[in-house]
Amino acid sequence: MSISIDEVRKIAQLARIELTPEEQTRHAATISAVLDYMKILNEVDTTGVEPTFQVTGLTNVYREDVVVESKLGKKLIEQMPQVEGEELVVPGVFD
């Protein structure tokens, strides 16, 4: 399956990525090669093969979400260079 340069441009636009003409050509070839490989994999007979979602045997460990009062509030406020009331003043991130 071949992907056109126009399709690469569209994908780049959707991803908000600027590509040079050389990059567009290179990505069209690379994506086409990946899609061709996926086409080959789609032809593999997988009947009777169980889906594999996890191979390490690890499982998530969950704990009860409990609200606990912090004892570090006063110590934290004492260490901050700038405090306003009971709130910490930090440098702005946005204009």
Give phi and psi for 87, each to the nearest 5. Answer: -115, 150
87, amino acid identity: E
Q: What is the mean pLDDT of the chain?
A: 90
- Model pLDDT, residue 7: 96
For residue 78, the surrounding DSSP H or E stretch is helix 73-79
CATH topology for 5-42 is Histone, subunit A (1.10.20)
- Model pLDDT, residue 69: 86
- Model pLDDT, residue 78: 83
Residue 3: is its pLDDT beyond 90?
Answer: yes
Burial 38-48 (b: 16+ CB within 10 A, else e): eeeeeeeeeee
pLDDT in tens, 48-75: 998 888 888 888 889 899 998 888 888 8
Q: What is the largest CA-CA distance in the chain?
A: 68
Residue 95: is its pLDDT beyond 80?
Answer: no
Q: Where are the domains of the chain?
A: 5-42
